[in-house]
Structure 1
Amino acid sequence: MAQEVKPADAAGSKKTDETEASKVPLEEIRRYVSVFNAVKYAYVEPVEDRKLMQSAIRGLLLDLDPHSAYLVRSDAEAFDEDTSGAYDGIGVEVQQQPDGTILVIAPIDDTPAARAGVKPGDLIIAIDGKTLTPELIDSNPLRGKPGSKTLLTVQREGAKKPLDITVQRETIRISSVRSRMLEPGYAYVRVSAFQADTATDFEQQIDKLQAQAGAGKSLRGLVLDLRSNPGGLLTSAVQIADDLLDKGGIVSTRGRNPVADATFNATPGDRMRGAPLVVLVDAGSASASEVLAAALRDNKRAQVVGSRTFGKGSVQTVLPLDNGDAVKLTTARYYTPSGKSIQARGIDPDVVLKPDGAVKSAQADIISEAALPGHLRGEQETSGVGIGDVLEGEAPIAAALVVLKKQVASLPVATDRR
Structure 2
Amino acid sequence: MKQVIPPSARLRIISRIKTAVLEHHFSIENLDLNSWCREVDLQTPALAELPDDGMFEDGIRDCLSKLKSSHTDFYRNGRNPIRPEHTIGATLRSVTCFDGQLWMFLDVFEDGPAARAGISPGHLLVSVNGISANPPDVPVFRFGGEYELTVITSKIGEVRNVAVIVPQPKSTRPRLPFVEPKSLSHRMLTERVGLLKITFFSGMLGIRFSRILDRAFESLKAQGCDRLIVDLRGCLGGSLGFARLVSYLCPNRVPIGYDITRKRQKVGYDPAGLPKVRMPASKVGVLLRLAQFSIRDKSLVLLTQGLGEQAFHGHVVVLINEYTSSAGEMAAQFAKDTKLATLVGQKTAGLVLGSAIFDVGNGYMLYLPVFGWYRPDGSPIEGSGVIPDVVVDADPKSLIEGNDL
Q: TM-score range by the shorter chain?
A: 0.5 to 0.7
Residue 24 of structure 1 deviates from its aligned partner by 11
User: Which residue number corresponds to residue 175 of structure 1?
Assistant: 182
**3-state SS of 2:212 partner:** helix
Aligned to 2:78: 74
Corresponding residue for residue 215 of structure 2: 204
Q: What's the counterpart of residue 142 of structure 2?
A: 143
TM (normalized to structure 2)? Answer: 0.59
Alignment equivalent of 1:319, drawn from 323, 348, 358: 358
Q: Identity, % of aligned pairs?
A: 22
SS at match of 1:244: coil
- Aligned partners of 1:70 and 1:328 also within 8 Å: yes
Equivalent pairs counted in the alignment come to: 304
Return closer, same or farther for 1:184/1:317 CA change in 2, 3 Å cut-off: same
Distance in 1 (alpha carbons) for counterparts of 2:105 and 2:73: 17
Q: How does 1:189-200 map onto structure 2 within 5 Å?
A: 189-196=196-203, 197-200=208-211
Work out whether residues 299 and 337 of structure 1, in 8 Å CA contact, stay in contact via their aligned partners in 2.
Answer: no
Change (3 A) 1:116 1:311: farther
Q: Give the corresponding residue for 1:64.
A: 67
Aligned counterpart, 1:232: 238
- C-alpha deviations, 1:281-330, integer Å up to 9, x for none? 22222221111111122223222222322222333322234554321112
Q: Give CA deviations for 1:228-270 in whole Å, capped at 9, x if unaligned.
A: 213222x111222223332211122235432573321112213
Alpha carbons of structure 1 residues 67 and 104: separation in structure 2 relative to 1, 3 Å: farther
Query: Which amino acid is 2:189 matched to?
Result: L
Where 2:242 maps in the other structure, the secondary structure is helix
Change (3 A) 1:31 1:182: closer
Identify unmatched segments of 5+ residues in structure 1: 1-16, 41-46, 95-101, 132-136, 155-163, 214-218, 363-391, 397-418
1:156-195, Cα deviation, whole Å (9 max, x unpaired): xxxxxxxx98633347673221111122232211111221
Contact kept? 1:128, 1:150, Cα under 8 Å:
no
1:149 partner amino acid = E
Residue 244 of structure 1 corresponds to which residue in structure 2? 249
Alignment of 1:362-381 (within 5 A): none
- Tell me how far apart the structure 2 counterparts of residues 337 and 25 of structure 1 sit (CA, whole Å): 30
Q: Measure how far apart 1:73 and its partner are.
A: 0.9
Question: What letter corresponds to residue 256 of structure 2 in structure 1?
Answer: I
Partner of 2:9: none
Taking structure 1 as reference, are residues 271 and 190 closer, same or farther at Cα in structure 2, changes over 3 Å only?
Answer: farther
AA aligned to 1:226 is L
Q: In structure 2, list runs of 5 or more residues that go unmatched.
A: 1-21, 24-31, 93-102, 152-160, 169-178, 265-296
Where does 1:249-328 land on structure 2 (aligned, <5 Å)?
Answer: 249-254=255-260, 256-258=262-264, 261-270=299-308, 272=310, 275-276=313-314, 277-321=316-360, 323-328=362-367
With over 3 angstroms needed to count, the CA separation of the structure-2 counterparts of 1:250 and 1:129, relative to structure 1, is: same
Q: Determine which of 183, 188, 193 is the counterpart of 1:186.
A: 193
Distance in 1 (alpha carbons) for counterparts of 2:304 and 2:37: 48
Q: Does the 8 A contact of 1:290 with 1:309 survive in 2? A: yes
Residue in structure 1 matched with residue 386 of structure 2 by the alignment: 347
Relative to structure 1, the CA distance from residue 52 to residue 304 in structure 2 (aligned partners, 3 Å threshold; closer, same or farther) is closer
* 2:294 aligned residue: none
Preserved CA contact (<8 Å) 1:116 1:167: no
- State the 4+ residue runs in structure 1 displaced beyond 6 angstroms: 21-30, 102-105, 122-128
The 3 A distance-change label for structure 1 pair 126 and 182 is closer
In structure 2, what residue type is equivalent to 1:210? K
TM-score w.r.t. length of structure 1: 0.57
Q: Does 1:333 align with 2:372?
A: yes
User: 2:111, 2:182 within 8 Å by CA — same for their partners in 1?
Assistant: no
Residues 118 and 330 of structure 1, relative CA distance in 2, 3 Å threshold:
farther
**8 Å Cα contact 1:58-1:70 kept in structure 2:** yes
2: CA distance between counterparts of 1:334 and 1:90?
29
**CA drift at 1:93:** 6.3
Instruction: For CA contacts below 8 A with separation 6 or more, give which structure has more relative contact order.
Output: 2
| 1:58, distance to aligned residue in structure 2 (A) | 3.4
